[in-house]
């Protein structure tokens, strides 16, 4: 067995182990969250009261946020393009910490497909909008299913992401459009206070500003022939990653948390039909800390992958200024990653969680 094969197998084992541990942890959290959400919803007036959702609040790092568990999921309507398309997304759950959530109760039940179609016609040019419907059968909120009928639904406008907090104008437009929709579908609509929601979004945006960091490492070959990109592709495949449409390799967990990505340092992006014959003098590895799994193994796998690739291609591990990365520097980077993760957890937004993936998007 060659040194390359041994290195690739070692990298794969480390990443797979980290992913397995992460998935088991998330599974336990989701089971507990579902139980808490169901209990909170049953306590609401008539089973659908918005005030019961996410009851109880704490102030941490200057940000007030609610501790209730997120609901099961939400159907997403892309309203940023003309001719918006209704899509049904994986369960994400509306969350009062980053969503402005309005509740609609219709005189007569409407199919989920109709609600989503009508909303796509009305809600245009806004940020991410997600819908949930109240299931009498399960006594809980669920992603709005096109084939099921609902008499009570709720819709959330995401108030914060990497583009910053929502503006008062966006929120006002959202409310006006929903009011029009409720008239069309013959129902009553309830809105939470807009000013309070905007303050919360601004406070959260400020609190996470210094926690939005990416760690970058480069592998370069200064002398001799360039190295084959196929070597990188093989290592990524063993680690469970794949080449995406953006021309980068991505190693992710089954929940969508990205361990790290790999890009070409040269101008040519990676393409599936070019991998076998493409060569390069350098690659860039990036870890988006807030979106990566909250596990020491994730950062260790990121560093080990970079080191092993550098060794196999006989290259150097350097930073963005082309300076060699020492063990001391890696230790400092690891400490910063741990600080960010701890701060995110204290805010109730664990790195790699569903909420973090939404907030840092």
Q: What is the pLDDT of residue 40?
A: 39
Q: What is the pTM of this model?
A: 0.70
Q: What whole-number distance in Å separates Cα of residue 178 and Cα of residue 63?
A: 28
The answer to whether 71 and 94 have CB atoms below 8 angstroms apart is: yes
Q: What is the pLDDT of residue 36?
A: 40
Q: What whole-number distance in Å separates Cα of residue 285 and Cα of residue 339?
A: 21
Q: Is 155 helix (H, G, I), strand (E, B) or coil?
A: strand
Q: Which helix (H) or strand (E) holds 260?
A: strand 258-264
Report the largest interatomic distance among the alpha carbons of the chain, rounded to a whole angstrom. Answer: 74
Closest CA to 77 of 125, 33, 13, 136: 125
Main-chain phi, psi angles of 120, to 5 degrees: -65, -30
E strands, 85-148, in order: 86-87, 99-111, 129-135, 140-143
Q: What is the DSSP string of 50-92?
A: GGGTT--EEEETTEEEE-SPP-S--EEE--SSSS--EE-PSP-
Q: What whole-number distance in Å separates Cα of residue 265 and Cα of residue 232?
A: 13
- As given in the structure block, the two tokens for residue 253 are 């967990």
Q: What is the pLDDT of residue 128?
A: 84
Q: What residue segments make up the domains of the chain, in order of their start? A: 3-26+212-359, 44-208
Residues 336, 337, 343, 344, Cα dihedral to 10°: 150
Long-range CB contacts (< 8 A, 24+ apart) of 162-169?
Answer: 162/212, 162/360, 162/361, 164/205, 165/198, 165/201, 165/202, 165/204, 165/205, 166/100, 166/127, 166/198, 166/201, 168/194, 168/198
Main-chain phi, psi angles of 109, to 5 degrees: -65, 145
Q: Which helix (H) or strand (E) holds 234?
A: helix 229-238
Q: What is the pLDDT of residue 90?
A: 40
Q: Which CATH superfamily is 3-26+212-359 part of?
A: ZipA, C-terminal FtsZ-binding domain (3.30.1400.10)
Q: Which CATH class is domain 44-208?
A: alpha beta
Q: Is the dihedral of CA 249, 251, 257, 259 positive or negative?
A: negative
Tokens 């306590």, residue?
43
Q: What is the DSSP string of 300-355?
A: HHHHHHHHHHHHHTT-EEE-TTSPBPPHHHHHHHHHHHHHHHHHHHHTT--TTSHH
Q: Which helix (H) or strand (E) holds 28?
A: helix 3-43
Tokens 């003309």, residue?
82
Q: Is 240 helix (H, G, I), strand (E, B) or coil?
A: coil
Q: What is the pLDDT of residue 9?
A: 45
Angle at 242 between CA 239 and CA 246, to 5 degrees: 140
The reply to whether 3-26+212-359 and 44-208 are identical in fold is yes
Q: What whole-number distance in Å separates Cα of residue 1 and Cα of residue 23?
A: 31
Q: What is the pLDDT of residue 246?
A: 94
What are the average pLDDT values for consecutive 10-residue runs of the chain, which has 361 residues?
Answer: 47 41 39 40 34 26 25 49 39 82 96 93 81 92 94 95 91 93 94 93 90 96 93 89 94 85 94 92 96 92 93 93 93 96 94 92 91
The answer to whether 212 and 160 have CB atoms below 8 angstroms apart is: no
């Amino acid at each position: 067995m060659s040194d390359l094969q041994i290195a690739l197998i070692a990298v794969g084992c480390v990443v797979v182990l980290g992913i397995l541990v992460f998935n088991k942890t998330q599974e336990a959290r989701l089971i507990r969250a579902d139980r808490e959400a169901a209990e909170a919803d049953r306590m609401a007036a008539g089973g659908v009261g918005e005030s019961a959702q996410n009851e109880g609040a704490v102030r941490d790092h200057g940000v007030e946020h609610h501790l209730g568990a997120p609901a099961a999921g939400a159907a997403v309507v892309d309203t940023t393009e003309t001719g918006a398309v209704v899509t049904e997304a994986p369960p994400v759950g509306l969350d009062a910490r980053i969503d402005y959530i309005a509740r609609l109760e219709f005189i007569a039940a409407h199919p989920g497909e109709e609600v989503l179609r009508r909303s796509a016609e009305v809600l245009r040019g806004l940020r991410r909008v997600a819908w949930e419907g109240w299931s009498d059968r399960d006594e809980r909120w669920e992603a709005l299913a096109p084939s099921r009928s609902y008499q009570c639904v709720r819709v959330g406008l995401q108030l914060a992401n990497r583009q910053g907090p929502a503006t008062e104008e966006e929120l006002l437009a959202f409310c006006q459009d929903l009011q029009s929709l409720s008239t069309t579908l013959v129902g009553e609509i309830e809105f939470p206070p807009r000013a309070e929601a905007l303050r919360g979004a601004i406070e959260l945006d400020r609190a996470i500003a210094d926690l939005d960091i990416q760690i970058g490492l480069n592998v370069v070959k200064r002398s001799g022939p360039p190295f084959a990109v196929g070597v990188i592709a093989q290592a990524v495949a063993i680690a469970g990653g794949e080449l995406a449409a953006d021309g980068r390799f991505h190693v992710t967990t089954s929940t969508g948390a990205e361990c790290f990505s790999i890009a070409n340092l040269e101008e040519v992006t990676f393409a599936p039909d070019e991998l076998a014959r493409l060569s390069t003098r350098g690659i860039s590895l990036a870890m988006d800390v807030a979106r990566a799994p909250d596990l020491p193994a994730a950062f260790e796998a990121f560093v080990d992958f970079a080191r092993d690739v550098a060794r196999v291609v006989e290259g150097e591990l350097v930073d963005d200024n082309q300076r060699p990365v020492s063990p001391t520097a890696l230790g400092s980077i690891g400490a910063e990653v741990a600080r960010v993760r701890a701060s995110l957890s204290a805010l109730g937004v664990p790195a790699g969680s569903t909420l973090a993936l939404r907030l840092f998007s």
